[in-house]
Amino acid sequence: MINKEYDVIVMGGGPSGFIAAIAAGRTGARTLLVDKNGFLGGAATSAALGPISPFHIRDEQVVKGIPQQFMDRMVAYGASPGHCKVLDPYGSGAYLGFFDRERYKYIAYEMVREAGVEVLFHSVYSGTIMEGDRVAGVKVVNKSGENVLKAKVVVDATGDGDVASGAGAEFVLGRAKDRKMQPSTLMFEMSNVDTDKLYQYILDNPEDFEWKSDAVPVREYSDRLVSKYFVAQGFKRFVKTAIENGELYIGRDSILLLNSVHPGVIHFNSTRVINVDGTDADSRTAGEIEGRKQVESIVKFMNKYVPGFEQAFLSTTGNEIGVRESRHIVGNYVLQADDVIEGRRFDDVITRGYFPIDVHNMAGKAGYGDPESAGAWIDIKDSYDIPYRCLVPVKVDGLVMAGRCISATSEAHGSFRTQGSVMAIGQAAGTAAGLSAMKGTQPRELDIKQLQDELLRNGASLRRDPQAVEQETENAQKHAAAFLKANPRHITPNIGSDSSAVRK
């Protein structure tokens, strides 16, 4: 039995967890970051995600601070072209941050180490240590046996809220009314694709696509990464024919693909497995098997039907299926869809959300449509505040929530569940945990002004800065205009040489 004590333990090293660990470490708290994998990044790396979704609403960069420091380092290391402006944001959001997944793992670790954080890999959560109503640590199992890891404050960044659930915290699994959750996806990539031929096909067959767009880098970046970045959802005719011929086994009625930072590599967000409960081992196992069956079929389909894929091969699958949604831990405030859509402000803001409500179809094969039965893409009026109260579970002390499992309805979660937001939430959670541990106070009693000041000191953006927005917009428009001039034929619809005509 191994016994250790820390000021802060961050359980889970995904986008929210590794940023939380950096933030906690920077407060001076003795911090441990634990993950079941042997690398950081969570779903971004282990589920083989494509680009990081925007940190932006329109051209305004809403998420800054440590998440942006991480993006800057990826650009500096030649691992990303940075946030790319999506000329038609419908379906993918205003910007996409293409990145090298293998370099992400290293760069995340490097920043964690620089913050003085200890890391423990290959360690699976096995229980929450309680002292009354207070979380006093976690138990994990690994090759060394059982470990008792005590802390003044624990950050639950497991995505599924495992630590909170083990503490007896109240939660809602999926949608409150029927416990349905967003579908899961086993991501994959194919290599040796003739991407010029693929782009040309999309260009020549616009009616075959639900949406598609070019994505334009807006800053200096490595020459090695220069590429024509794009995203497209469709290939409907091929999909229909192949399904009718019994040649395609897939959970959707279209293919969603993007290119990547590597030449000839295409990323697929194209399997769909409904009714996966990420908190249930049997359900998760069944999801993996079903996802892999779909991948096998889609690869054969792409080779046979889609121009550019004749010589392509399956080069990557996620180590695990990507689970979009599971537990929503009930906190001192439950973020609502209306808060998101109306752009509500809260005094205890710790970051701002900006992404449309993006709910993949929970019940069937179609794309966006009726939110009850199908998926939904709901634009929001403005950025909105995420209050600190959503990170603090009701009743349970010694615990701060980070990432996709914070307190929100399923619909509101559909907006902040992407990486930019969960990273920013992670910064707030880690900072709050560090400050609470160092002061000997409970997270719920933390002085919000002090937390906000510390976030601002570390570069977070809590309120709109009109001057920055003006500069960001001008820069984005300049790069978009240059792209359109150099590429008079492009896949983005309804756009001439003036990028302000882009659908918002």
Ligand X SMILES: Cc1cc2nc3c(=O)[nH]c(=O)nc-3n(C[C@H](O)[C@H](O)[C@H](O)COP(=O)(O)OP(=O)(O)OC[C@H]3O[C@@H](n4cnc5c(N)ncnc54)[C@H](O)[C@@H]3O)c2cc1C
6, 7, 10, 16: residue in contact with ligand X (rule CB under 6 A) = 16
**Rounded to the nearest whole angstrom, what is the least distance from the CB of residue 252 to ligand X in the complex?**
12
22, 47, 250, 386: residue in contact with ligand X (rule CB under 6 A) = 47
29, 239, 323, 435: residue in contact with ligand X (rule CB under 6 A) = 323
**DSSP calls for 45-59:** HHTT--SBPPSEETT
Look at residues 40, 57, 199, 184 and name the one whose alpha carbon lies nearest to residue 110.
40
From residue 183 to residue 202, the character string flagging contacts with ligand X as x (rule: CB under 6 A) and all else as - is: --x-----------------
Look at residues 85, 88, 63, 93 and name the one whose alpha carbon lies nearest to residue 380.
93
Q: Does 14 bind ligand X (CB under 6 A)?
A: yes
Using DSSP bridges, classify how beta strands 399-401 and 145-156 pair: parallel, antiparallel or unpaired: parallel
Q: Does 327 bind ligand X (CB under 6 A)?
A: no
Specify the residue, 210 or 247, whose C-beta has the smaller distance to ligand X. Answer: 210
User: Is residue 437 within a helix (H) or strand (E), and if so which, with residue range?
Assistant: helix 419-439
H helices within 281-402, ranges in order? 281-305, 337-342
**Rounded to the nearest whole angstrom, what is the least distance from the CB of residue 316 to ligand X in the complex?**
14
**Rounded to the nearest whole angstrom, what is the least distance from the CB of residue 449 to ligand X in the complex?**
26
Q: Does 91 bind ligand X (CB under 6 A)?
A: no
Specify the residue, 419 or 499, whose C-beta has the smaller distance to ligand X. Answer: 419
**How far is residue 119's CA from residue 37's CA, in Å, rounded to a whole number?**
11
**Residue 61: alpha-carbon gap to chain centroid:** 16
E strands present in 200-356? 209-217, 229-234, 255-259, 266-268, 313-317, 327-329, 349-353
Q: Does 161 bind ligand X (CB under 6 A)?
A: no
Q: Does 491 bind ligand X (CB under 6 A)?
A: no
21, 29, 44, 476: residue in contact with ligand X (rule CB under 6 A) = 44
Q: Does 12 bind ligand X (CB under 6 A)?
A: yes
Specify the residue, 43 or 399, whose C-beta has the smaller distance to ligand X. Answer: 43
Q: Does 290 bind ligand X (CB under 6 A)?
A: no
27, 37, 351, 458: residue in contact with ligand X (rule CB under 6 A) = 37
**Rounded to the nearest whole angstrom, what is the least distance from the CB of residue 420 to ligand X in the complex?**
6
What the block records as the tokens of 211 is 């949406």
Look at residues 314, 290, 316 and name the one whose alpha carbon lies nearest to residue 301.
314
Count of H-run helices and E-run strands, the chain: 13, 23
Q: Does 356 bind ligand X (CB under 6 A)?
A: no
* Token pair 């937390």 in the structure block, residue: 451
Q: Does 434 bind ligand X (CB under 6 A)?
A: no
Backbone angles phi, psi at 19, to 5 degrees: -70, -40
**Rounded to the nearest whole angstrom, what is the least distance from the CB of residue 430 to ligand X in the complex?**
12
**How far is residue 10's CA from residue 284's CA, in Å, rounded to a whole number?**
24
Strand, coil or helix: 189 = strand
Q: Does 50 bind ligand X (CB under 6 A)?
A: yes
Tell me how long the chain is: 504
Please choose, out of 283-291, 361-369, 375-383, 411-419, the segment that lies near ligand X by the rule CB under 6 A. Answer: 411-419
**Rounded to the nearest whole angstrom, what is the least distance from the CB of residue 204 to ligand X in the complex?**
26
Please choose, out of 219-227, 316-324, 383-391, 489-497, the segment that lies near ligand X by the rule CB under 6 A. Answer: 316-324
Backbone angles phi, psi at 418, to 5 degrees: -85, 170
Look at residues 448, 269, 408, 417 and name the one whose alpha carbon lies nearest to residue 354.
417
Q: Does 42 bind ligand X (CB under 6 A)?
A: yes
Q: Does 13 bind ligand X (CB under 6 A)?
A: yes
Q: Is 395 left (phi over 0), alpha (psi -120 to 50) or beta?
A: left
Q: Does 324 bind ligand X (CB under 6 A)?
A: yes
Q: Which residues bind ligand X (CB under 6 A)?
A: 12-17, 35-37, 42-44, 47, 49-53, 124-125, 157-160, 162, 185, 322-324, 403-404, 417-419, 422
